């Protein structure tokens, strides 16, 4: 018999800012219950931050977090979306989408810097 882990979610949207070697990263954690809400919020962020070079996303949906998705949005494969998704998993979160908006600062950070 498999024991189901207790999953958690967030109640409201939250955001943060991080800077590294001239690049600026804006993060947004958003409570969601359906894939369309993720797509809508991502498009809003693309419009609001039209000068950004990437809008990375990762999310988990459903009571048992049955639906998972991540996208690097042009960052090196597996370097951005997958680590965010893994963080959602490690914190046992569901019905949450995390978006990372990146403004390029003129210096490549390399995979380790993302």
What domains can you pick out in the chain, each with its CATH number? 14-105 (3.30.230.30)
DSSP assignment of 14-62: EEEEEEETTEEEEEEEEE-SSHHHHHHHHHHHHHHTTT-SEEEEEEEES
In angstroms, the CA 79 to CA 43 distance is 21
Span 44-94, pLDDT tens digits: 999 999 999 989 999 999 988 789 999 987 776 777 899 999 999 999 999
Whether the per-residue pLDDT at 5 is higher than 50: the answer is yes
Average pLDDT, the chain: 87
Q: Give me the pLDDT at residue 4, please.
A: 54
Quote the pLDDT of residue 59. 97
Residue 1 has pLDDT above 60, yes or no: no
């Amino acid at each position: 018999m498999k024991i189901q882990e207790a999953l958690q979610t967030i109640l409201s949207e939250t955001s943060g800012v991080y800077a590294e070697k001239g690049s600026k990263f804006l993060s947004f954690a958003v409570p969601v219950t359906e894939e369309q809400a993720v797509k809508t919020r991502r498009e809003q962020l693309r419009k609001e931050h039209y000068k950004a070079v990437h809008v990375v996303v990762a999310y988990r949906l459903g009571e048992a977090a049955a639906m998972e998705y991540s996208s690097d949005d042009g960052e090196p494969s597996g370097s951005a979306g997958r680590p965010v998704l893994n963080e959602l998993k490690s914190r046992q979160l569901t019905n949450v989408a995390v978006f990372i908006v990146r403004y390029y600062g003129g210096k490549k950070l390399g995979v380790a810097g993302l």
